A and B are shown apart, each in its own frame.
Chain A
Amino acid sequence: MWKKLWKNIFAWFDERLGLNDLYKATLDRPEPKGNWWNTLGSASLFLFVLQGLTGIFLTVYYTPSPDHAYDSIQYIMTGVEFGWLIRGIHHWGASLMVMVVFIHMLRVFVTASYKYPRELTWLIGVGLLLVTLGMGFTGYLLPWNQKAFWATTVGTAIAGSVPWVGEFILKALRGGTDLNALTLSRFFSAHIWILPVMLAGLIGVHLFLIIKHGESAFPEKED
Chain B
Amino acid sequence: MAGSHHISRRDFIKLATLTVGGAIGAAIGVPSIFYLVDPALEAGGKDAWIPLGPLENFEIGKPTLVTFVRTKVNGWEKTSNSYGVFVLRKSEEDVTVISNRCTHLSCRVNWNEEKQTYICPCHDATFSLDGEVLGGPPPRPLDRYEGEALKIEEGVVSIFFTEG
- Give chain A's interface residues, CB within 8 Å of chain B: 50, 53-54, 57, 60-61, 68, 71-72, 74-75, 79-83, 85-86, 89
Chain A positions within 8 Å of B32 at CB level: 53, 57, 82, 86
| Contact A82/B31 with A57-B36, A60-B36 known, Cβ cut-off 8 Å | yes
5 A-B residue pairings within 8 Å (CB atoms): A53-B32, A72-B75, A80-B38, A82-B35, A82-B38
Cross-chain contact A81 with B28 (CB below 8 angstroms): no
| Contact A50/B28 with A80-B35, A83-B35 known, Cβ cut-off 8 Å | yes
Query: How far does the alpha carbon of A85 sit from the alpha carbon of B27 in the complex, in Å?
Result: 11
Q: Across the A-B interface, how many residue pairs have beta carbons closer than 8 Å?
A: 42
Please report the total number of B residues contacting A with Cβ < 8 Å. 11
Chain A positions within 8 Å of B31 at CB level: 81-82, 85-86
Chain A positions within 8 Å of B38 at CB level: 79-83
Chain A positions within 8 Å of B28 at CB level: 50, 53-54, 89
**Distance in Å: Cβ of A119 to nearest Cβ of chain B:** 32
Residue in B closest to A71 when the chains form the complex, CB atoms: B76
Asked whether any CB of chain A lies closer than 8 Å to the CB of B43, the reply is no
Query: How far does the alpha carbon of A75 sit from the alpha carbon of B31 in the complex, in Å?
Result: 17
| Contact A75/B35 with A50-B28, A53-B28 known, Cβ cut-off 8 Å | no
Cross-chain contact A81 with B75 (CB below 8 angstroms): no
Residue in B closest to A83 when the chains form the complex, CB atoms: B35
9 new A-B contacts, CB < 8 A, other than A80-B38, A81-B34, A81-B41, are A54-B28, A60-B36, A61-B75, A68-B77, A79-B75, A80-B35, A81-B31, A82-B34, A85-B35
| Contact A86/B35 with A50-B28, A53-B28, A81-B41 known, Cβ cut-off 8 Å | yes
| Contact A68/B35 with A50-B28, A53-B28 known, Cβ cut-off 8 Å | no
Chain B positions within 8 Å of A53 at CB level: 28, 32
Residue in B closest to A53 when the chains form the complex, CB atoms: B28
Query: How far does the alpha carbon of A57 sit from the alpha carbon of B33 in the complex, in Å?
Result: 10
Chain A positions within 8 Å of B34 at CB level: 81-82
Cross-chain contact A68 with B76 (CB below 8 angstroms): yes
- Which of B41, B75, B77 has most A Cβ within 10 Å? B75
Residue in B closest to A61 when the chains form the complex, CB atoms: B75
- Which of A50, A74, A86 has most B Cβ within 10 Å? A86
Chain B positions within 8 Å of A72 at CB level: 75-76
Chain B positions within 8 Å of A79 at CB level: 38, 75-76
Query: How far does the alpha carbon of A135 sit from the alpha carbon of B33 in the complex, in Å?
Result: 26
- Which of A50, A53, A80, A86 has most B Cβ within 10 Å? A80
Residue in A closest to B35 when the chains form the complex, CB atoms: A82
Cβ-defined partner of A57 (8 Å) among B35, B75, B76, B77: B35
